[in-house]
Amino acid sequence: MPSFVMKCGGSTLAALPDLFFEELKQLQSDGIVPVIVHGGGPAISATLEKLEIPTQFVNGLRKTSEEVLDVVEMVLSGQINKQIVRKLNQAGAHAIGLSGIDGNLIEAQPVEGHEEIGFVGDVTQVRADLIEGIIGLGAIPVIAPLGIDAKGQRYNINADTSAGAVAASLGVEHLIVVTDVPGMMKTVNGEKVILPATTEAEIQEMIQSGEIYGGMIPKVKAALKCLQGGVSEVVIVSGTKPGVLGRVLRGEAEGTRIRKSQ
C-alpha cells in the first residue's frame, strides 16, 4: 500500500538536489512507499514560447487549446516525467512513469467555464488499482497530470488538483506538496513569516485579502478538497533541505501543515 503522495512542482524541479531523490529511495527501501505526481508549468511555458504559441492563465489555470494541449502532453509526459524517473533510478530507486492517460489512470471532465478555458479538466476518478499494481511490482509510480474522458478526449489538469485527487483515492494520510517556497507565508506585525500550521478559515481569509495568490491558490484548494476526501494532513514544503520528507512524515516542524477543521 502507498504511504504518502508527493506533488513536485515545476517551479522547483531543477533545484531539487540528488539528496532529495536519494531520500525517496531510502524511504522506499524502508517500506515507506511514495507515489509522485508532478507539475511542469514553467517548462510548458518555455516550450510554448519557443514555438511562439501564446499562453494565458485564468484563475491559476492555463487556457488550453488543442495546440497547447499537444505541448502540455509532450512536455509533461515526455520531458518532465522521464527526467524524474531517470533521477530516481539514478538514485537507486525503481520508478515507473506514466501519465493520467495511460490505462485511463485519471478520468476527467471539463472544468466549469471550459467554454473560455478550453481543454482543462477536473478529476472524476482515479484508478487506484493501477497505482497499487505498480507499487506491487516494487516501483515508485511517477504520474504526469493529464486526464481522459470516456470519449477519449484528453485534458490538461493542474498538478496540485491531480495530486489531491490521487491522494484521496489512495486513502493515504499525507499529501506532501513540494514547491519553491518553504511554506505558506503571511505578514504578521509587518513581517513575512512561514505559518507552521493553518486552517480552512485562515486560508479563505488569505485568499480574500490577496495574501494567497497565483500558484498557491490551486494548492490550497486541492488541499482542502483532499482533506474532505479523507487525507489527514497536507504539508507544503520546499524540497531543497536534506531530509525534509522524513521530517514531515515524523511530524517534526517543517513547512506549513493543513489539517481538517474540527
Ligand X SMILES: Nc1ncnc2c1ncn2[C@@H]1O[C@H](COP(=O)(O)OP(=O)(O)O)[C@@H](O)[C@H]1O
Residue least distant from ligand X2W (Cβ): 39
- Beta-bridged to residue 62, according to DSSP, are 57
Q: What are the grid coordinates assigned to 171, written together?
A: 486513502
* Residue 62 marked as a ligand binder: yes
Q: Measured from the CB atom, is 55 or 89 closer to ligand X2W? A: 55
Interaction of residue 9 with ligand X, rule CB under 6 A: yes
Helical packing angle, 200-209 and 216-228, nearest 10°: 160
Q: Which does 62 bind (CB under 5 to 8 A by kind): ligand X, ligand X2W, none?
A: ligand X2W
Binding to ligand X2W (CB under 6 A) within 34-53 occurs at: 39-41, 44
Binding to ligand X2W (CB under 6 A) within 98-137 occurs at: 120
- Secondary structure (H, E, C), 77-127: HHHHHHHHHHHHHHCCCCEEEEECCHHHCEEEEECCCHHHHECEEEEEEEC
Q: Of the ranges 74-82, 129-137, 181-189, 224-232, which one interacts with ligand X (CB under 6 A)?
A: 181-189
Q: Measured from the CB atom, is 67 or 129 closer to ligand X2W? A: 67
- Residue pair 42/10 in contact by the 8 Å Cβ criterion: yes
Interaction of residue 205 with ligand X, rule CB under 6 A: no
- Residue pair 3/167 in contact by the 8 Å Cβ criterion: no
Interaction of residue 2 with ligand X, rule CB under 6 A: no
* Residue 59 marked as a ligand binder: no
User: Sign of the CA dihedral 168, 172, 177, 178?
Assistant: negative
Interaction of residue 141 with ligand X, rule CB under 6 A: no
Distance CA 206, CA 148 (A): 33
Interaction of residue 72 with ligand X2W, rule CB under 6 A: yes
Binding residues for substrate: 40-41, 62, 156
Binding residues: 40-41, 62, 156
Binding site for ligand X (CB under 6 A): 9-12, 39, 41, 179-181, 184-185, 211-216
